[in-house]
Amino acid sequence: MSTTITSDCINCGACEPECPNNAISQGDPVYVIDPLLCTECVGFHDYEACAAICPVDCCVPDPNNLETEEVLIARARALHPETNIGENFQSRFRKGQAAAPAAAAPEQASAPASANPAAAEQKASPPLTPAAAPATPNVAASPEPAAATDVAKAPVQPPAAPAPVQSAPQPASAQPIATPTPTEQKATPLPKPAPAAPNVAAPPKPAAAAAKAGVQPTAAKPAPQPKKEARPKKTFEKELPASFQEISAQFTSGGSLRQGLGRAIVLLTQPVVGALPHSTKKRLEDAVQSPLFTAAGSTGLNIVHNAVLYPLVCMAVAALLHGPEIIFSQEINFYVLIGISLAAAEGVFRLREGIFRVKPADEMRFPASVYGVPLSLILQPFLERHAGVIRETPIPVDGFYSKGFVEKLERERRYGNVYTLEDRGGAFLLRMEFPRRTPDIGLAGSTKLPVEMPDYDYDLALVDGQFVVKGKCTDEQVRKISSSVGAFPPEFTTVIPLRERVVGFAHRFENKLLEVFLLKDRGNDRVENYR
C-alpha cells in the first residue's frame, strides 16, 4: 500500500524534506503524496519517514492502493538509477524478521557460503584438518597491512594462486572449480581472501554512491555565476532616470525608536500622541516595537486626556469672554459640561467601528483628534527621521531543525515570499531575495543541474497602489525539471500593497538580491528632482 495524507494534515511541512523521493508537495488544502513517486521509503529506511515525523499522524497507508515490496523496490531503483540499491535493502516489510536476514546472508555473501563445502571436505579427510589450522594463521600473520595487502600477498606463497586472486570479483565461479582433493590443502587459504574480494572491488562503488548520497555535486563548483551581473540594466515604466545610488544617498536610513531617549518620549507622551492620525500611530507602533505602545492604547489614553483638556479649554474661553471672575461662579459649570460633551462625542466618533460595528481592535481605524492633524504636521520631521523599519515579510517557516529551516527558506524564495519593506520617510525601500540554490529533487538528471540557481529574469510594475514583482527562471534545463516537481515553480508573482501613493521607483539587482526605492508622492517638485 502506498502512503497517503488524510484531511487531518495541519500543513506543517515536516514531511516534505524527509521524503527521499520528493513525492510530497503542497496541495489544496493540505499536502499530497504522488503515488507514482512514493516507495514507502523501501530501499532507504525500514520505516516510513513521513509517518515517523508527522506530529498529528496524518500520514497513513492507503488501503485503496495495494503495492508489494517488489513493486516498491523496482520503483525506487527506477527513480534513483545512480544509487546502488543491493538485495539487502532496507524495508519496513522486512522489519522484525530475524530469519530473513539469516537466510539472505548466505545468498548475498557467496564467498563464505563456498567456504562451507571446503570445511565439510576437511572433516571428511582427517589429514586436512591439522594442515588447515596452521595455514590460516600463517596467511594472516605474514602481511602487516590490513585485508587489502592480505589479498595481495596471499597468492605469493602458492604459485598457482595469483590468477584466481586477481579475478576477485568472480569468487562464486572460482569456488566450485577448486574441487580436486590433492589441491585442497592449498585451496584452504584461497577461500580466506575470497570474503576480502568485495573490499578490493568495493572502492569504486562506494565512491560513486557517496558522490550521490553525500550530495557531492557541491564539490562541482566550476561555474562562477556571479559574473552574470554584468548584463545590461533593465528599465521599466515609471522608473526614474536617476540611479539607485543617487536616490539611496538621499534616504540613507529610516532611523529607529527601539531604544534611547526618543523611545522614552513616545511612551511617556502617549496621551498626546494618541491624537495623531491612524497611519502615523501605526508607523510609531512599528517603530517602537513595544507592547507598551499601540495605536488602540494611545487613542484610548488620548480620549481620557481630552475629557480633561476640553473642559479646561472651555473654561479658558469663558474667562476670555466674561472675565476671570466667571471661573469662581456657578456659570462655569455650563462651560465645563460643554467641554465634557465635546470630548465624549469625539470619543464615540473615533471608536465608532468598535462600538457600532463590533470590530476587533486590530481591525479598527483610530482617526485623529481635532488637533491631531496640525500636531502631525509639526512632528513630521521627527517622524521621518525616527520612523522605524516596517518589516512585512510573510515567511511561513517555523523550522523543525536548522537544515529544514534553510530548505524551507529557500523554498519560500522560489515563491517570491522573502522580502522586507522599510519606510525611509519620503520613500519605501524594498529588498527581495531571489532563489540562490538548486534544490535536490532526487530525480534522474538532477545531478546535471548547477548547484547555484541561474539568475532569474524579472519584471517590475506599479499598478493601482501596489508594487508587482514577477520572477522567471529562463534556464531551459531547470525549467524542464521544475515543471514536473512540486514546490519548485519556474516563476512567481508577488504583489506588495503600499500604504501611501508612490509615483516612481529606482531599482538594483545584484547577487540575487533585488532592491527598489519607491518614492512617495510628497509633491511634484520632489519627484522632479530625480527626473
% of the chain residues with pLDDT over 90: 21
> What does the pLDDT read at residue 376?
86
Q: Hey, which residues does 32 pair with through a beta bridge? A: 25
Contact 294, 302 (CB under 8 A): no
Q: Hey, which residues does 5 pair with through a beta bridge? A: 59
| Mean pLDDT of the 52-79 span | 83
Residue ranges of domains in the chain, CATH in brackets: 3-106 (3.30.70.20), 124-163+190-203 (no CATH), 234-251+389-528 (2.60.40.790), 261-386 (no CATH)
For the ranges 16-20, 76-80, 141-145, 299-303, the lowest mean pLDDT is seen at 141-145
| Mean pLDDT of the 249-262 span | 66
Q: Which among 46, 499, 485 has a CA at the least distance from the CA of 281?
A: 499
For 377-490, list the strands marked E by DSSP. 419-423, 427-433, 456-463, 466-473
What pLDDT band is residue 101 in, cutting at 50, 70 and 90? very low
Q: What b/e string do you get for 426-444 counting C-beta neighbours within 10 Å, with b at 16 or more?
A: bbbbbebbbbeebbbbbbe
> What does the pLDDT read at residue 162?
45
For the ranges 115-124, 138-147, 163-172, the lowest mean pLDDT is seen at 138-147
| Mean pLDDT of the 453-467 span | 90
Report the C-alpha gap between 252 and 240 in whole angstroms. Answer: 18
User: Grid coordinates standing for 105?
Assistant: 546472508
Per-residue pLDDT tens over the stretch 305-334: 999 999 999 999 999 999 999 999 999 999
What pLDDT band is residue 46 in, cutting at 50, 70 and 90? confident
| 46 burial level (CB within 10 Å; 0-12, 13-18, 19+) | middle
The answer, yes or no, to whether residue 103 has pLDDT greater than 60, is no
> What does the pLDDT read at residue 528?
56
Q: pTM of this prediction?
A: 0.37
Listed ranges 110-114, 289-293, 310-314, 465-469; the one with the highest mean pLDDT: 310-314
| 528 burial level (CB within 10 Å; 0-12, 13-18, 19+) | exposed
> What does the pLDDT read at residue 317?
95
Report the C-alpha gap between 493 and 491 in whole angstroms. Answer: 7
> What does the pLDDT read at residue 444?
52
What pLDDT band is residue 125 in, cutting at 50, 70 and 90? very low
Length reported for the chain:
531
| Mean pLDDT of the 1-22 span | 83
The C-alpha torsion from 268 through 272 and 273 to 278, rounded to 10°, is 150
Report the C-alpha gap between 434 and 455 in whole angstroms. Answer: 8
> What does the pLDDT read at residue 208?
46
Contact 150, 207 (CB under 8 A): no
For the ranges 78-92, 123-137, 234-248, 427-441, the lowest mean pLDDT is seen at 123-137
For the ranges 48-52, 244-248, 443-447, the lowest mean pLDDT is seen at 443-447
In this structure, what DSSP letter does residue 453 have? Answer: P
The answer, yes or no, to whether residue 474 has pLDDT greater than 70, is yes
* Integer Rg of the chain from CA: 38
Q: In what order do the strands lie in the sheet with 419-423?
A: 419-423, 427-433, 513-520, 502-510
The answer, yes or no, to whether residue 196 has pLDDT greater than 70, is no
Identify the residue with better confidence: 171 or 80: 80
What pLDDT band is residue 260 in, cutting at 50, 70 and 90? confident
> What does the pLDDT read at residue 505?
92
